[in-house]
Structure 1
Amino acid sequence: MVTASRVQLTVLRGRDDEWQAVRSLLDGVTGGGGALLLHGEPGSGRTALVGHAHRYAEDCTVLAAAGLAEESALPYAGLQRLLDPVLHRAAALPDEQHRLLRRALAGESCPADRQLTLSMAVLGLLAAAARDRPLLATMDDVDRGDPQTAQVLAFVARRLRHLPVAVLLTADVAVTVDGIPAHRLRPLNARDSVAVLIDRLPERPAASVLTALAVTGGGNPQALVDLAEVLSPAQWRGEEALPTAPPADGALGRAYRARLDRLPPDTRRVLLLAALDEAGAPGTLIRAAGAAGTEAEALAPAEVAGLVRVEPWGVTFPQPLVRTMIAASAPLAERRAAHRLLAGVLVADGHRLRRAMHLAAATAGADPALATELEEAAAGGVGDWATASAALRWAAELSGHPTQTAARLLTAARYAWAGGQPDVARLLLDRLRVVSRDPAVRGRADLLRGELELRCGRASGASVTLLTAATAVAGTDRALALSGLVRAGEAICFAGDQYRYAEVGRRALALRRPTDPPVMELMGCLVAGVAATLRGDHERAGPALRRAVVLGGRLTGSALTPTALNCAAAAGLVVAVDGAAHRLAERAVGLARERGELSVLSRALELRAVAEYWLGRHEAAAETSRDGLRVARASGQINCASVHLGMLAVLAAIRADRDTSLRHLREIGESPTPGSRPHALAGWALAVLDLIDGRHAEAADRLASLARLGTGRGQVLVQVMATPYLVEAAAHLAHRPAATAALAVFDRWASSTASPLRRALSARCHALLAPRGGAEAERDFQTALRLHPTEAGTFERARTELLFGQELRRSRRPRDARTHLHQAREMFSLLGVACWAEQATTELRAAGESVGPPDLPAARLLTGQQLRIAELVAEGATNREIAARMFLSTRTVDHHLRNVFHRLGIRSRTELARAFATERHVGLTSDR
C-alpha cells in the first residue's frame, strides 16, 4: 500500500487533459467512484500520470501494482500484489467469497463458473477497505500481466458508481476496455517537447538543437528524456552531430526490447526488415521475408500488438517512433544482415539509390566503388533531398580520398539545406572544415554557411561571410560568386544596413560580362537595380529591374530554378510591377514545391505575400504568409518565420484586428535586432493600431523611426511601403518634417514606376498634407481617385474615399462628403473589413445621414461558401448539421458565420433568417 501525501508535483508537459481527467476521477470519489484507462505507446507518460495520482490522492488509501510480463502465466498474480495490503479485510466477506478469493490468490485456479463470485469478492474487499476513507487502486501496464487480473479489474471498474473507490488502469495504445472511460496519450507537440528537453538539460541549448531533438523524439516524453541524458556538452551546444534515434539502452529502448521479445522470432525478423525498408513497398518485403526463410504473414502478431498496420499498399507504422526503436534495438549484426537482404531483393526493382543505401548500411570500412555508386544514384536530389543528403554522407564515409570526401560532404550539406535540414547542413560544414583546407572548397562551403546564417541565424553577420566567400570563388566560378553577392545584398537589406549595399553593387559590376547567360544577367540586373534604388537613382534603377523581370519570365530548362524566379520577383516588387512579380513568385512557389526545395520556398512565399499586399488581396496575402510561416518553422528558418509573422501582424492591423496582430507580435518576441526587417514590420503594425486608436503622434514616431533617411540605415523599403500611414498620422500634427521627407522619397520612387496605385497613394498623401478645405487638397484627392486601379487595390481606394469624405465633412461640405463615404462604406463591407466600414458609417452619421446595415444583396457581400452557410442557417440548420452537409469542421462553420454577421451588419441567427426572407420576397416581387 502506498502512503499518499500532497507534495510539489513535477510538471507533466502536454498532459493537461489527461491529468484533468485523473483529477476529476479523484475529486469525485467520495460521492461515488469510477474508473479510467490511460493508454498509449511505451514512454508516453502513463506511469508518470499514475505517480501523480498517488501523490495527489492524499485523502485516499492507495493500492498500487503493475502488470509484469514475468508473471503473465500465473493466474491472479497481479491481483495478489494489488490486494495484499488489505487482505485482512477479507474476513468481512461472505464465507463462499472469502474462501474463493483466498484460494485464487494462493495460486489455485478458479473454475470458469465461479468467475462471477470471485469478481464480486474483489469488489466487496475494495468496498470494505474503503469503509474508513476513499480508496484508489492503480494497475500500471495492466495488459502486460496475467489476463485473469485484467478481467477481474475490468469487472470491478464497471461497478463503482455507489462506492468511494477509484480504479486507474494503464495499458498499451492498442488496448481498450468496454465500459471504462479511456484517454489516449497522444505525442507531445513541438513546444511541449522542447519544454521537456529544457527541463532536463544543464543549460538551455541552441534553438536548432532543441528543434532537431524534438523531431528525433517523435513527441514521446521518455524518448526525449533518454536523449537528454546521453547528450554530451558538445552536442547540446550544437558542435557535434546529434543522435538520430533515442538510445537503445535507454528506458524506452528497454521497453521496446521487452515488447519485441514477446513476439515470435520470425515476426521480429520480418518486423526489422519492414522497419529498415522505409519505402514500404509490399513486393520488397515479401521477397525479403522469403530470402530470410519466412514470409510476410509472420507480421500478424506484431499487427495484433499494434506495432504495425498491414495494408494492401504496404506496411505502415502507426507511431513513427516505433520504426526507429525497432531498428535501434536490433543488434548490429542483425541490422547489417537485414540491410543486405533488402539490397539483394531491390536489384530486380531498379531502385538504385535505395539499394546502394542498404549496401552502405551493411558495409564497414572504405569502399570507393560503393561511394561512387551512391554519389551517382543521389545526383540531383530532386524530390527527396534528405535521402540524397544521407546517401552523400554515406559516400563521404566510404570514400578513399580526402578530396572526394570533401566534395561529397559539401554536396550532402547543400542537399540537406535544400530539404529543409539546416542543422544537418551546419554539422556537415563543420566536419568539412576538418577534412579539407582547399580554399576553393572552403569558399563554396562559406557561401552555404552564409545563406544558413541569413535564413536561420545571425543575419547581420551573414553579409560578411557571403562577401568574403564570393571573393574566394570569384576566380573559378563567377556565377556562384554573383549568387553569393545577391545573398549578401539580401542580408544587408534584412539587417537594415542599406548603406553597405553600394559595395555589393560595385563587386557585382566587376563580375559581369556582356556574354553572360540569362541567369547571371538577371542577378546582375537585380543587384544593380536595387543599388541604384537605395541611392535614389531611379532613372538607372528602373531599366535594370525591368530587365530582370523580363529575363525571369523567359527562363527555361536548367536555368529555371526557384532561386532565379525569386530574384526576378524581388526585382518586380522594387520596380512596382506587382502583377508580374506575383506571377514570378507564384511560379517560384510551385517549382519549389515540385522540387521539394524547402530552403527557398519560404522566401518565395514571402515575395508572393508582398505582391498580394500591393494588389490589394489582403486575405490572400495573409494565407500566403501563414503558409510561409509553417514552411519556415518546419525548415528551421527563424528569420524567415519572423518576417512572415511581421507581415501577418501588419495585415491584421490594417484590418483593425488588434488581437490577432498583437498575437503575431508576441510570437516574434524580442529576438529581432533593432533595424531588421521583422523589427520594422512589427513597428509598422503597432503604428497602424495607434493610428486606428487616434494616437497620431505615437504612430508617426514609430513609422518615422523605421529608417533614417539620408544615412542608409534602417528599413528604407519597409518605410516606403508604410509611408501612406506615416503621412495619415502626421496630417493630424502641427509639425511634419519626418512625413514630408518620407513622402519625398516615396514620390521619387512612385513617379519612376508605371504603377497607378503608387501614384494614387502619392496624390492621397499630398492631399492629406495640403491646407484643410483648400482647392489643393480636393484636387489631389480627385487625382488619387482617378489613378486608383479598378482591378486591384480596392482597399486603398476605399481608404481614399473615406479620407476624402472626412476632409469634405470637416470642411462643412456634408452633402459632397456623403457620396464618398457611401462608396467607402460599401467597399469596406464587400471586403469584410468591419472596423473601417463602421468608421465610414460614423462619418456618414456625422454628415447628417441616418444609416443602418449596408443596403446590398447578400450575394455581393458574401463569398460563395459564406453565402451557402448563411442560406442553411436561414433554413434553420444548426452549425453541426451545416458542417456535415458541407464537409467542414464546426469550428470552420463558426468562423465563417461570424464573418457573415460582420458583413451583413446583423447580430443573431434570427436576424439572418429575417434578412434572407426579406431578400427572397424582394426578388420574387421583382420577378413578377
Structure 2
Amino acid sequence: MFRGREEERGLLNGVLDAGAGVVLVDGAAGTGKTRLLAEAAAVAAGRGFEVVTARDELDQPFLLARLAERRPDGPLLVVLDDLHLAGPATLAALGALLPASASDAVVWLLARRRGEGADRLFSAAARRGATRIELRPLPDGVVTEPVADLKALAGTAQGLLLDRVSALSGNARHLLQVAAVLGPRFEPGDVAEMLASSIAVLLPALDEVVAAGVVAAQDDGLAFRHDLLWRLVADSVPPPVRRALHREAGEMLLRRGDSAVVAAKHLLHGAQRGDARSVDGLVTAAKALLWNAPEASAELAVRALELTDQASASLVHRTVMAVRALTAAGRLTTAHALAQEALSRQVSPEPAAKLRHCVATTTLLGARHAESLEISEALLRDPDLAPELTPWVEITRLMALLGHDRERARELAEAVVRTRQGAPDDVLATALAVLAAIARDTGRPGAALELAREAARAGTSHDLSAYPRLLFATLLAGLREFADAAAVVRRVRGGPSAVVTGEVMTAVVQARILLQAGRIEEAAAEARAALTVAEETGHDAVVAPALAVLAMVAIHTGDLPAAIEHVGRCRDDVPADRIIFSRAYYQWADVLVTYVGSGLEKAMTLLTDYPDLVSSGLFAEEPRAAGWFVRRALEAGDDGLAKAVVDRAERLAEEHPGFPAVAAAAVHARGLLDADARLLELAARDHRDLWARANAAEDLGVLLAGSPDRAESVKALESALGLYREIGASRDSARVLGRLRKLGRRRRAAPARPESGWSSLDDTERAIANLVAKGQTNRQISTQLFMSPHTVNFHLRKIFRKLAISSRVELVMRSRDDR
C-alpha cells in the first residue's frame, strides 16, 4: 500500500464492496495512475475477485472479445489502462459492454491520461453513475519516502518468491514456465500437450508446485497463487523461447478448435517477421474472429501484414484480409486507404477484385453511392469475377443504386426477383428490400410491408440480410406494430455478428422506433450512441438518420437550437438518406423545425420546395404527420393543401383497410378539416401511438374551446397533457398548459409524482426494479419488456438516481425492505 492516496483507495474499496460498478481514473503522466490500478488489482484478488487486465492498447480488443464470449462465474475486476490510446472500435466495443455488464458482478477500472482521449466513453460512463477519481501530483515529501519503501518491499517480495520457485526440481520449474506462457490460469492437459507428455507423467511435478504454494487448484483448472508469481515465472523464460512457446500454444488451440480469441493472443505474442507459420496462424485466427470480434480480427490481420515481407507472395492476400477486418471493425478510412494503396501496385486479378469490392463497400457506407455503383458495375462486367464474390458485389450494386438512381434500382431489383425466386438467397433478399423501400416511398405501405416480410425471410447470412430485416422493422413501426418491430430488432441484435456497420444501423433504427413509441429519452440515448460511432468510424450513411431522430427529439423537448443544427446538417452536410429512412421523413423534419423556428410563412414556403411530400408515403410511415399538415394548412388559410392532405390520407386508408394506424390518421385529418368533434374523439381513441393520440386529444380540446360548455375542452386538453408528459414532450406539454390557462384551469408544470422514493418510479421503472429484485439480468429484462439492454440500463440509472442508490445489490435490498 503506498501512501498519500487514502481518499482514492476509499472510493475503490467502496466499489469493490458493492461488487459491481465502474471506476474512471483520470491522471497526468507520473501521478501514480498505473500504480494505483495495480494496488486495486491486488486488493481485489485478495477478496476473491478474478482479475483480468490488458497490458497495452493492443491487448484491449482481445480482452474485450474474451469478456464478450463468456459470463463471469464469480466477482470479476476488469482493469484497462491507457484508454486514451484505444481506437474508436475498441471504445465502441467497451461502451457496449459496460451497460450490458451492469447485471453481473463486474467492477470496471478504466484509466486514461486526462484530456488525451476516450472523452465520450468517460462522459457516458459518468452520466450512468460511474465513480470518478482524478489523480493530482502528491507533495514531494509524501512521494519520496514511500517510493523507497516500495522498492525495498518489492525487492524483498521478488526475492522470496524467486527463492520459492528456485527450490523446485528442474521438471517442476519447466512445467511452471510452460504454464506461465499459457497464462495466470491454465489447464493441466494443455501443459501436458505442450510438453508432449501426459498428465500421468507430469503428476509428480504438478504435486510439487501445488505443495510449494506456487500454484493452487481451482474448479476449472490450476492458477498461480499470485499475479506477481506468474509474471516472475513468465519473465524467467528467455524472450525467443517465450515467443516460440506462444506460437505453439496458439497453434495448439486453433488446431483443437478452442477459443480463437485466446489462440490469437498467443499468436500475436509469438509471431515474428519471416516466420511464415506463425503469421499464417495470425491470419487464420483473424478469419475465425472476423464476424464476432472484428476489432480483434483487425489487430491480428494488420499485425500479420506488418510482419509480411514486401516481396512475399502472401502480401496481397494478407492485405485483403486486413482490409476486410478493418471494414468489419468500422475503421472505414483506414480500410479504404489500405485497399487503394494496394491497388496502386501490380495485383493479380482475383485479389484485386476483392480489394475493389472493399473500396465499393467503404464508399457505400460513406454515402458515396455513385462511386460505389461505378466500382460495382465495373466488377460485374469482369468475366473472371470469382463466383463466391459475385453475390457480395451484386448486393453492393443494388444498395448503391437505391441511394443513387431509384428507377434503375427498381428495374434491376425486379429482374433479380424474376430470375432468382426459389430457395433463400441474400441477393434476392436485398432485391426484395429495395422494392420494399421504393414502395414505402411511393405510398404503397401494404406492398412495402409484404415485400419486406418476404425479404426478411429470404436472407441467409446475418450480415448480408441485416438491411432487409431492419427495413422490415421500420415499416412495422411506421404502422405502429411496435411489438413486432421490437421482435425483429431483437433478432438482428441477437445474431452472431458484431460487425460495426450492423450495430450502428440497428441502433439508429431502434432509436426511431423508440421515438415513435413515445419513449423519447431512450430514443435520444440510442440516436446519440449511433451518431457517435458513425462519426468516429466514417459511417456517413448513418449520420443523417441519427440526426433526424435527434432533431425530432429536440423539437419536442424545446431545444430549438439543437433541432435547427441537426436539420441543417441533414440538409447541407450529409447526403439525404433514402435507404434506412425515406426522403419524405427528412423533409417533414425540415418543415416541422422550420415552422417552430421561423414561423408558418417560411414553413409553407419550404413546403413548395418539396412538391411530392404530401403525395409520398409519409402518412403511412408517420401517421401523425397527416394531422400536422392539415393543422398548418388551415392555419395558413390554404384550403387546397388541407384538402389534398385529407384526400391522400383517406385514399391510403381505403387502399389499406387492414392498417388501423393509417385509418386513424385519415379520421384525424378529416376531423380537423371538417371541424368534426366526433371524428377527433374517434382519432384520439383509435390512434396506435401516444404521440398521435395526444395530438388528436389536443385538437379536440382546441375545437371544443369555442363551445359554451368548456368542460369537455378542458377534459380533452388534460388528456393530451397527460400523454405529452408520459412521453416527455416538454414543449408540447407547455403549449397545452397555456391553452388550459386561457380556459381558466391552472395545472402544475410538473407531474404530481414525487421526485424521489419508490412512488417516484413510473410503470416501466417499477417493472424493471421488480425484475432486478427477482435476479433477472439486463438481457433477460430486455427480452421480457421488448427493449434493448442499453435501454434497460438507461432506466436503471434513473431508478438509482430516484432511490439515491448506486448498485443492483442496494436495489434488491431496498425492494425487500419496501415489501
TM-score normalised by length of structure 2: 0.58
Unaligned residue ranges in structure 2 (runs of 5+):
9-22, 41-53, 58-84, 94-109, 118-150, 166-173, 197-204, 213-219, 770-792, 805-819
Alpha carbons of 1:850 and 1:558: their partners in 2 closer, same or farther (altered >3 Å)?
A: closer
The 8 Å contact of residues 818 and 844 in structure 1, kept in 2 or not, is answered as yes
Measured in 1, the distance between the counterparts of 2:589 and 2:183 equals 46
Q: How far, CA to CA, are the matches of 1:432 and 1:340 in structure 2?
A: 28
Out of 354, 358, 361, the residue aligned to residue 451 of structure 1 is 361
Distance 1:712 1:482 in 2: 32
RMSD after superposition: 6.5
Match of 2:500 in 1: 598
Q: CA deviation at 1:733?
A: 2.1
**Is the partner of 1:731 in helix, strand or coil?**
helix
Deviation at 1:802, TM superposition (A): 0.8
Deviation at 1:600, TM superposition (A): 0.5
Equivalent of residue 714 in structure 2, options 801, 818, 828: 818
Pairing 1:633-782 to 2, within 5 Å after superposition: 637=539, 639-641=541-543, 643-654=545-556, 657-659=557-559, 662=561, 673=573, 676-677=576-577, 696-697=599-600, 700-701=603-604, 704=607, 707=610, 709=612, 724-735=627-638, 752-753=655-656, 754-768=658-672, 770=673, 775=674, 777-778=676-677, 780-782=679-681
Aligned twin of 2:335: 425
Contact 1:414–1:448 under 8 Å retained in 2: yes
2:777 corresponding residue in structure 1: none
State the match for 2:527 in structure 1.
625
Counterpart of 2:424 in structure 1: which amino acid?
Answer: P
Report what 1:505 is aligned to.
Answer: 410
The answer (yes or no) to whether the contact 2:175–2:191 under 8 Å persists in 1 is no
Write out per-residue CA displacement over residues 822-845 of structure 1, whole angstroms, 9 at most, x where no aligned residue: 432343455455554454444345
- Structure 1, residues 897-928: CA drift from partner, whole Å, max 9, x if none? 89xxxxxxxxxxxxxxxxxxxxxxxxxxxxxx
Q: Which residue matches 1:385?
A: 294
1:548 aligns with 2:444: no
Deviation at 1:312, TM superposition (A): 9.4
8 Å contact from structure 1 (residues 690, 699) kept in 2: yes
1:521 counterpart residue number: 428
Equivalent of 2:742 in 840, 846, 863: 846
Secondary structure at the aligned position of 1:807 is classed as helix
**Alignment partner of 1:378: what SS?**
helix
Q: Does 1:863 align with 2:767?
A: no
Q: Deviations for 1:296-354, whole angstroms, at most 9, x for unmatched residues? A: 999x9xxxxxxxxxx99979999xxxx9xxx99x9985763453464487589754855
Partner of 1:243: none
Quick one: structure 1 residues 723 and 418, their matched pair in 2 at CA, closer, same or farther if it must change by over 3 Å? farther
* 2:809 aligned residue: none
Structure 1 contact 675–714 (Cα < 8 Å) conserved: no
**Structure 1 counterpart of 2:488, from 556, 578, 584:** 584
Q: Is the 8 A contact 2:519 2:727 kept in 1?
A: no
Mark the structure with the bigger radius of gyration.
Answer: 1
Residues 626 and 665 in structure 2, CA contact (< 8 A), matched pair in contact too: no
Quick one: distance in 1 between partners of 2:752 and 2:265? Answer: 67
* 1:784 maps onto 2:683 in alignment: yes
Q: Which amino acid aligns with 2:373?
A: L
Higher relative contact order (CA 8 A, sep 6+): 2
Per the TM alignment, residue 644 of structure 1 is displaced from its structure 2 partner at its CA by 2.5
- Rounded to whole Å, the distance in 1 between the matches of 2:609 and 2:178 is 59
Shift of 1:793: 0.5
Matched, 1:796 2:692: yes
Task: Give the CA deviation at 1:603.
Answer: 0.8
Q: CA deviation at 1:798?
A: 1.7
Q: Matched residues, percent identical?
A: 18
Kindly indicate whether the alpha-carbon contact (under 8 Å) linking 2:516 and 2:691 is maintained by their aligned counterparts in 1: no
Take 2:377 and 2:619, find their aligned partners in 1: how far apart are those partners?
A: 25
Give 2:400's aligned amino acid: A
Return 507-516 or 668-677, whichever deviates more: 668-677
**Which residue identity is paired with 1:548?**
A
Alpha-carbon displacement from aligned partner over 1:189-234 (angstroms, at most 9, x marks no partner): x9xxxxxxxxxxxxxxxxx998589999x97559979xxxxxxxxx
User: Which residue pairs with 2:130 in the alignment?
Assistant: none
Is contact 1:688-1:699 (8 Å) kept? no
- Structure 1 residues 423 and 468: alpha-carbon distance in aligned structure 2, compared to 1, 3 A threshold: closer
Instruction: Mark the CA change 1:716 to 1:702 in structure 2 (over 3 Å): closer, same or farther.
Output: farther
Change (3 A) 1:432 1:277: farther
Task: Name the count of aligned residue pairs.
Answer: 631
2-structure distance, mates of 1:625, 1:271: 51
| 1:472 and 2:382 aligned | no
Q: How much does 1:462 deviate?
A: 3.2
In 2, Cα distance between equivalents of 1:289 and 1:669: 62
For 2:39 and 2:249, the matched residues in 1 are separated by: 33
Matches within 5 A, 1:397-408: 405-408=315-318
Once residues 716 and 451 of structure 1 are traced to their aligned partners in structure 2, the CA distance between those partners, rounded to angstroms, is 33
Amino acid at match of 1:797: R
What is residue 28 of structure 2 aligned with on the other side?
A: 45
Contact map agreement 1:366 1:399 (CA 8 A) in 2: no
Amino acid at match of 2:488: L
Which of 802, 805, 809 aligns to 2:705? It is: 809
8 Å Cα contact 1:569/1:581 also seen in 2 = yes
1:861–1:745 distance in 2 versus 1, CA, 3 Å: farther
The aligned residue for residue 237 of structure 1 is none
Deviation at 1:697, TM superposition (A): 1.5
Does residue 1:488 correspond to 2:400, yes or no? Answer: yes
What is the one-letter code of the residue matched to 1:658? G
In structure 2, C-alpha distance between the alignment counterparts of 1:527 and 1:820, rounded to whole Å: 42
Shift of 1:805: 1.1
Preserved contact between residue 294 and residue 326 of structure 2 (Cα < 8 Å): yes
CA, structure 1 residues 42+271, in 2 after alignment: closer, same or farther (shift >3 Å)?
Answer: farther
Letter in 2 for 1:466: L
Secondary structure of the equivalent of 2:705? helix
Q: Which amino acid aligns with 2:363?
A: E
- Partner deviation per Cα, 1:670-698 (whole Å, 9 max, x = no partner): 586266359998886686567668x6426
SS in structure 1 of the partner of residue 637 of structure 2: coil
Structure 1 portions without partners, runs of 5+: 1-17, 22-39, 50-140, 142-168, 177-186, 191-207, 226-257, 301-310, 493-499, 870-886, 899-928
Deviation at 1:417, TM superposition (A): 2.6
Q: Measure the CA separation in 1 of the matches of 2:767 and 2:304.
A: 58
What SS does the corresponding residue of 1:595 show, helix, strand or coil?
coil
Establish whether residue 569 from structure 1 lines up as the match of residue 476 from structure 2.
no
Specify whether residues 377 and 827 from structure 1 end up closer, same or farther in structure 2 by C-alpha distance, changes over 3 A only.
closer
Q: Separation in 1 of the partners of 2:593 and 2:178?
A: 59
Match of 2:513 in 1: 611
AA aligned opposite 2:339: L
Query: 1:458-479, CA deviations, whole angstroms, 9 ceiling, x for partnerless residues?
Result: x2x2343135314523765553
The letter for the 2-side match of 1:799 is N
Matched-pair contact (CA < 8 Å) for 2:670–2:679: yes
Going from structure 1 to structure 2, the CA distance change for 1:344 and 1:709 (only over 3 Å counts) comes to closer
Aligned AA (1:820): A
Name the SS of the counterpart of 1:709 in structure 2.
Answer: coil
How far has the Cα of 1:488 moved from its partner? 1.2
Query: CA offset at residue 504 of structure 1?
Result: 1.9
Distance 2:704 2:24 in 1: 69
Deviations 1:550-595 (A, max 9, x none): 442476687995344235435656787655444322311222xx43
Change (3 A) 1:480 1:794: same
Taking structure 1 as the reference length, the TM-score comes to: 0.52
SS at match of 2:697: helix
CA contact (8 A) 1:288 1:342 kept: no
